[in-house]
Amino acid sequence: KAGVTQTPRYLIKTRGQQVTLSCSPISGHRSVSWYQQTPGQGLQFLFEYFSETQRNKGNFPGRFSGRQFSNSRSEMNVSTLELGDSALYLCASSQPGLGSGTLMKYNEQFFGPGTRLTVL
Amino acid sequence: GNSVTQMEGPVTLSEEAFLTINCTYTATGYPSLFWYVQYPGEGLQLLLKATKADDKGSNKGFEATYRKETTSFHLEKGSVQVSDSAVYFCALGRIQGAQKLVFGQGTRLTINP
């Protein structure tokens, strides 16, 4: 079974530009989550999509957005890039955690290799 | 809030040494606990997990026990190898019904031959 794929692997942009990153989940996985990894802040949750709907969101400004398509592939977009957006962006796929609260069944997240974004 | 604190790195050991990387957490509800490993230039790989108190996760010689009384999930290995050199992340999952992970800051481990 193919793993999570992310494209592109490396990207260089300048301040003010926008960027779109793509993630293809493992076949059959319907939940896709995005994380930002920086040396200063570590790994931080951006958002999670399931059934083309954003189900959870982390504490990031509105410049960060995403979407999910009917085939579960996901894209994230960052508009008006800032130097501080330079990071490794990781995508993770899983079966959705069904149920709610303490009864929710959490399913393991499988990570892609990431997209390294450099903002100049 | 929900958070994870890991032992500060970097950690440097000789091959065959005993490894402990400390991890403590603060969480509401009943989280699952994970250790992920990241090799240079790669994404995260799940190393082991525990879903409830007193569970022990194990994989590739690594072990960690979910201790609710001390809110800890320390990673141990009896005899490390050069190939274990990587960054290790402790993480909380299943937080407040959300399919997301909260990570510790990571511990860089270097094993010298």
Residue A40 has pLDDT above 70, yes or no: yes
Question: Is B89 in contact with A43 (Cβ distance < 8 A)?
Answer: yes
Residue A46: count other Cβ atoms within 10 Å of its Cβ.
22
Question: Is B101 in contact with A100 (Cβ distance < 8 A)?
Answer: no
* Mean pLDDT across B83-106: 86
Please report residues of A whose CB lies closer than 8 A to that of B45: 111
Looking at chain B, the whole-number percentage of residues with pLDDT higher than 70 is 96
d(CA B21, CA B83): 17
Residue A96 has pLDDT above 70, yes or no: no
Mean pLDDT of chain B: 92
Cα A3 to chain center, whole Å? 15
Q: Which of A31, A42, A111 sits opposite B44 (nearest CB)?
A: A111
- Contact A80/B at CB under 8 A: no
* Mean pLDDT across B31-40: 92
Residue B69 has pLDDT above 90, yes or no: yes
pLDDT for residue A100: 55
Which residues, numbered 34 to 73 in chain B, qualify as contacts with chain A under a Cβ-Cβ cut-off of 8 Å? 36, 41-46, 49, 51
